[in-house]
Structure formats: C-alpha cells, structure tokens
Amino acid sequence: MSGANLAAGLLWLLVFVWSLAGAIDYGASFWRMLFEWRRQGEPARMAQHYVSPLWEATNIFLVFVVVGLVGFFPGAAYVYGQVLLVPGSLILILLALRGALISYGYALKSPVLTAVTGLSAALIPALMVAVLPISAGGFVAVNAAGAAILNLATLFTSPGTYAYVVFGLTAGLFISATFLADYSRTAENEEAYLAFRRQALWAGPVAIAAGVAALFIVPSPAWLESRLAGEWPWFVGSLAAFLGAISAFNWRNQPSPGRPRWAVLLTVVQFGLAIRGYGAAHAQYLLFPQVPTAEAFTGSAMFSALLLAVIVGVVVLVPAFIWLWRLFVIDPRYTHS
C-alpha cells in the first residue's frame, strides 16, 4: 500500500469515528429540544445526561480530521479552502454557536437557547454530508486564474443537494436515537427507551430513502459510477446490517420489545460498510478532477512525522475518551442519577 493510500485510509477512518461520535452528540441535542417541546421529561433528561459531559470531547475527533487533511494532503487542503469557504464557514458558525450556547442553555434552562442549540446541532451533520456531491466535482469550476470556484447558485438550487442534506440529517438522528435507546435501556428508563425507539424506527428508513434518492438525483461522473458499482458487496452488506438493526428493535424482550444493544452494533456495522465502499470508490480523487489523491500527498518525510504524531495523539486521547465513556455513559451511578 502506498503512503497516499495509507494516509487516505487513516483519514477516512477518522471521518468514520467522528461521524458516529458526532451524530450521537449532535442528535442528542436535537432530541433534547424536541422532547422538551413535547413535555416528555424522561427522554429529554436522558439526552441531556449524555450531552452534558461529552459534547466537548466529540470535537476532538473533528480536529484530528482537519489536521490530518492539512498535514497529509496540503494540496487538497488549499483547494478545499477555496471551494468550501461558504459551506465550511456555515459549519464553523454552527459549531461555534452550539458551543457558545450549550452551557448557557443547560445552566439557564432557556427554551430559546435550547432550541437554537438543538437546531444548530441537527444542521451540522446535514451540511457535512453536503460536501459529498461537491467532492465529486459536479459543482466546482476553475476560473481563468486557475482557482477552484464553487458554483453556489447551482449547489443551492439542486434538488440533489437537499437530498444529501435530508440524508445527513436523518442519518444522524437515526444513529443518535438508536444509541440513546440503548443508553436509556442501560439506565433502566423504559419510558425514554420507547420514545427513542419510535424515533429510530422512522428516521432509519427515511435516511436510507434519502441516501438512495441522492445517488440518483445528483449525477456522478462516470469514473465514480463505475467504481461504486464495483464496490456493490459493501453496500449490500450495509443494507443487510440496516435491516438487522431495525429488526433488533422488534426482537422479543422484557419488559418492552427490542434489543437496542444489537441495534447499535449493527448500525455501526451498517455505516462502517457503507463508508468503506464509498471511500474505496472515491479513493482516486479527493476532489474530482482538480485534486488526485496521489498528487496532493505530502512528502515521505513529512508523512512519517505526521503518522507518528497521529499515533501518539491516539494513544494519549483514546484512553481518556474511554475513561470519560465509562464514567458518564455506562456507569450506573451517573445514568441512574
């Protein structure tokens, strides 16, 4: 395996980890807002229980993704900076807005601050997923000076863009609801479990439908279509895992139906297989056709130094994250409080 492919695979793995952790975190803020509006105290309390101690830790993985992109593929980072100036700025504004308001919203218990926090959190993964059609090159042009320009008018008037946004929104809510259902079951809170189970059962099918619609609505370049077709076993496996996750919510159990732990595990497998298939299909280009992966790759000496830095960072941070997880997610003294 070449250094460029190894770096791209490592970067894609970081994207996968952050997408799961971020979806749970951002979705929990949305569900808290929704259930407080509905005056359903128990599911709102469980969502807040998860978000309160972990919302800052989740963004560490996003920092890893950005540092990895800039360090491993400096050429891609430069072009992405040109292309994603507007959508990237929107994402940063939403991240800053959520981070600034989340503590005040919890401390002051303001419905307005809770609403802004929940809505901004729901939009972050939706906008992140909207980067996928941009990376396929459909909305990018090169001006006379050789700079890559994003056609914002075409992007924001394309039905495919909104199909990707709906997919990102509902996929994040599905992952979050599935996890929070298991979190509530661990806390022996059946009222919250049933509430999150209901949300997962509608959000999952809508996410799959939106994802399929996005692939058909947004025209993909011929190279990507052929490579996606060649990766079909991964997508079939992903669909099978999704059906298993949905069915797990209906398995016989007491005192209420469903085995949410199995649903969580199968959901992780589902998105892992899908990201593996899409990443392998897209591996030739980071941004088509301006940024081939091999040409954007940094030098071998820099790659070795960055790889060592990433390994050290993972060795230091992952145990700390596991400690936070054990302390605030699976410790019954916290979940039952």
Q: What is the pLDDT of residues 228-282, one digit of tens each?
A: 888 899 999 999 999 999 999 998 877 788 899 999 999 999 999 999 998 888 8
> What count of other Cβ atoms lies within 10 Å of the Cβ of residue 336?
11
Within 13 Å and on the Cβ side, how many CA atoms surround 335? 21
CA distances from 198 to 202, 257, 324 (A): 7, 11, 28
For residue 250 the two structure tokens come to: 């209906």
Torsion sign, CA atoms 162, 32, 102, 52: negative
Cβ within 8 Å of residue 279, ≥6 positions away: 8, 9, 12
What kind and span of H or E run contains 150?
Answer: strand 148-150
pLDDT of 107 strictly over 60: no
pLDDT digits (tens, 9 = 90+) for 49-64: 887 677 777 777 788 8
0.75 cut: is pTM over it? yes
pLDDT digits (tens, 9 = 90+) for 181-200: 999 998 888 999 999 999 99
- Structure-model confidence comparison of residues 141 and 204, the more confident one: 204
Percent of the chain with pLDDT over 90: 24
Predicted confidence at residue 335, as pLDDT, reads 66
Residue type, 239: L
Read out DSSP for 289-302?
Answer: TTEEHHHH---HHH
Of the candidate ranges 11-15, 140-144, 191-195, the one whose mean pLDDT is the lowest: 140-144
Give the highest mean pLDDT range of 34-38, 138-142, 177-181, 220-224. 177-181
- Across the chain, which distance is largest between two alpha carbons, in Å? 67
Give the highest mean pLDDT range of 105-109, 209-213, 219-223, 245-249. 245-249
Cβ within 8 Å of residue 260, ≥6 positions away: 178, 181, 182, 184, 185, 193, 197, 248, 249
pLDDT of 106 strictly over 70: no
Residue 314 backbone dihedrals phi, psi, to 5 degrees: -65, -45
Q: Is 256 left (phi over 0), alpha (psi -120 to 50) or beta?
A: beta
The single residue listed with the structure tokens 């700079």 is 147
Predicted confidence at residue 31, as pLDDT, reads 93
pLDDT digits (tens, 9 = 90+) for 222-243: 777 788 888 899 999 999 999 9
**How buried is 98 (Cβ within 10 angstroms: 0-12 exposed, 13-18 middle, 19+ buried)?**
buried
Torsion sign, CA atoms 323, 328, 333, 335: negative
Give the highest mean pLDDT range of 79-93, 137-151, 253-267, 298-312. 253-267
Quote the CA–CA distance of 174 and 145 in Å, as a whole number: 44
